[in-house]
Structure 1
Amino acid sequence: MNSSTDDPNFTTVHEDSQELSKLHQQNSNNNVNSVFSSVPSRPPIQTSSEKYKPIDWTSYFDEEDDIQIPNSNDVFHIYKAGTKGPVVFCLHGGGYSGLSFALVTSTIKQKARVVAMDLRGHGKSATEDEIDLSIETLCNDVLAVLKALYGDSPPAIVLIGHSMGGAVAVNVAAKRALPSLCGLVVVDVVEGTAMASLMHMQNILSNRVQHFATIEKAIEWSIKGGTLRNVDSARVSIPGTLKYDESKNCYVHRAKLEETDQYWRSWYEGLSEKFLSCPVPKLLLLAGTDRMDRALTIGQMQGKFQIVVVKNTGHAIQEDVPEEFATLVIKFISRNRIGPHGVEIPGIRRP
């Protein structure tokens, strides 16, 4: 549609604010019911920079912390919320950060404790080797953080993992090294689909925008480019995926994913069978049924796990529809009677 200045048939009506003000005052003094007396003040026009202005994580999480891993120089950053119930331990996808779970935390923390971790090479975590994203290293990182947090007496834990983080969650669960694990939620990652997409990943990474003049521009790009669909979530999470490059005088992606391709296959190989073998209640959240592979289809028919296809969402389900995501997680915890100390068995009182 042409603007008024482009269309010769369109006449622009100019408003003289001083004249309107005088007329309004005159009518008021004369007790005349003027049309101007009922005109509400115009809301301020929201500029692009305001629409994409970052939101601080404190609006959703209660606190943040740095976890120093003993006998190493590795420090992992976490965000925490909630004071009761089991621990919902969240693992983000490649290129994201723990803040990817910010909006869902507002609801989940009413029923459970939430811990969201910045994985190696992501967010505010700092490790000696930022490029080693092998599945073994990532799993050891998660177990080390849980050990540092809870020692030898961890509370009941529900692992939630999105994309790459979903693969890490499955592999951690499959190790059976976490005796207090009571539930596993995997978000939009399936072995068959993931393995088939690896050949395109380098091309996808190289074609994305690499430099941003401001954080607002990065948030805008994530929405307009379709990476995320929820602008409020993007305003919280995107800042955690960036770092400022002083040499280039701009913001760049924090995670160097393009340098980690040697580890990509390790994330997803054998993932379906590992998922099915985990001896805890399991929930698979998908953005589309096309992501199911043969092993999972058979497993689902055998009732080995619960599956929910979440409509009208992209890959980052937890960010695009946070309220629906949080509700599904809370129902999963309730249905499986997962309490702060483990599975609550009716009729048996725990100390």
Structure 2
Amino acid sequence: MDASGNLTSLSEESEQESVHPSSESVFSNVPPLPPLEFSLQKYSQLDWTSYFDQEDDICIPETENVFHVYKAGSEGPVVFCLHGCGYAGLSFALSASKIKEKVRVVSMDLRGHGKSITDNDLDLSIETLCTDVLAVIKTMYEDSPPAIVLVGHSMGGSVAVHIAAKRILHSLAGLVVVDVVEGTALASLIHMQKILSSRVKHFSSVEKAIEWSVKSGSLRNIDSARVSIPATLKYDDSKKCYIAQEGLEETEKFWRSWYAGLSDKFLSSPVPKLLLLADTDRLDRTLTIGQMQGKFQMVVVRHTGHAIQEDVPDEFATLILNFISRNRIGPHGIEIPVLRKPSKSDA
């Protein structure tokens, strides 16, 4: 039935109810929400505590750097999540609430993002980002780190790959890269300044920022946006408004270093690997050959945008858990089944 048909039907029902008061709905006297109030309610902020179990500030010894992390789960290997440029650790909130049922989750606010505080928030060189992540892991777990599965989205995926390729994180047991491929990423850099300059940066309220993120198509899951977007905003007292992630344009000199040589580094990483893509068009030649040779697992997650972990958090969580199970990754690394000793009855 078309829209006009629905309206006609509703109008007739309303007239009938006015003639027969006894048949009125128990909600008939409740005044409707004003349009603005309804919009604010629909895009209101959701608290991260519904998804993660705790937050913590990791102070790096002998530096001024303090990195904010969110934690969930109590046992199993650690899924260590690294967000993309302009996002924050809460980008993985909804998926973490599912992943933590089986394993542990840590999601970190990278330098210049979220609640992390560093000596230079604009130093997003790949070496600095890798050093930051390794320092956080070292500070958190000291000399006895659990098995770690690095999960990185976009820029965070680049960081995860570079760390894996260094082969210095000895407890690394798996690598998951979310929607970033060298060829596509390098080709898109020419458009990045235009994209950043055209985005809305000032919002009268947190709700307006959440609404914009969904209506612009950058995020497709309202609930995820309601958790993650507030962490990317800062309130400006002088301008009396909320400001989105600042300074990204100034980090342009680092962008190419994030992605140059990424495909070869990914393929050379000596751990089980999973590549999650929103579209097969993102696959470059090097990875196409590697995928055909069975060097990594690839899954194309349909009907999502760039932030797969936010758009379809349940499916994302299932893919992560299946990857861990398939590769038998336990709390201390890859679990090798114990060979059963032959019994006398076998003789």
TM-score by length of 2: 0.90
* Distance change in 2, residues 1:332/1:14 (3 Å): closer
Matched, 1:41 2:27: yes
Q: Name the structure 2 match of 1:275.
A: 266
Q: Which one has the largest radius of gyration?
A: 1
The alpha carbon displacement at 1:2 in A equals 11
Distance 1:290 1:40 in 2: 53
1:36-62 residue CA offsets vs partner (Å, 9 max, x unmatched): 3xx352586470000000001000000
1:189 partnered with 2:175 = no
Cα pair 1:241 1:255 within 8 Å, conserved: no
CA RMSD of aligned residues (A): 2.5
Please state if 1:145 is matched with 2:136: yes
Secondary structure of residue in 2 paired with 1:195:
helix
Residues 150 and 348 of structure 1: CA distance in aligned 2, closer, same or farther (over 3 Å): farther
Shift of 1:152: 1.1
**Alpha-carbon distance between aligned partners in 2 of 1:101 and 1:264, rounded to the nearest angstrom:** 23
Provide, for residues 283-325 of structure 1, a one-character-per-residue CA deviation record: whole Å limited to 9, x for no partner: 0000000000000000000000000000000000000000000
5 Å-filtered alignment, 1:81-100, equals 81-100=72-91
How many angstroms apart in 2 are the aligned matches of 1:192 and 1:167?
13
How does 1:102-181 map onto structure 2 within 5 Å? 102-181=93-172
In 2: Cα distance, 1:246 partner to 1:13 partner: 52
CA 1:35–1:199 in 2, change beyond 3 Å: closer, same or farther? same
State the match for 1:321 in structure 2. 312
Match of 1:222 among 213, 216, 224: 213
Q: Is the 8 A contact 1:121 1:130 kept in 2?
A: yes
What is the rounded CA distance, in whole Å, between the counterparts of 1:277 and 1:180 in structure 2? Answer: 17
Q: Percent identity?
A: 69
| C-alpha displacement of 1:13 | 8.3
Structure 1 pair 2–156 and aligned structure 2 pair: CA distance change class (3 A): closer
Contact 1:67 1:78 in 2 (8 A): yes
Match of 2:274, SS state, is strand
The question of whether the paired residues in 2 share the 8 Å contact of 1:122 and 1:255 is answered with no
CA deviations on 1:146-196 (whole Å, 9 max, x unpaired) are 000001110000000000000000001111110000000000000000000
Instruction: State the aligned residue count.
Output: 331
What residue number does 1:101 align with? 92
* Runs of 4+ in structure 1 over 3 Å off: 11-16, 42-46
SS of the residue 2:113 aligns to? coil
Deviation, structure 1 residue 35: 3.0
Pairing partner for 2:63 from 68, 72, 79: 72
Structure 2: give runs of 5+ residues left out of the alignment. Answer: 341-347
Deviation at 1:246, TM superposition (A): 1.2
| Change in CA separation of 1:348 and 1:88 when aligned onto 2, cut-off 3 Å | farther
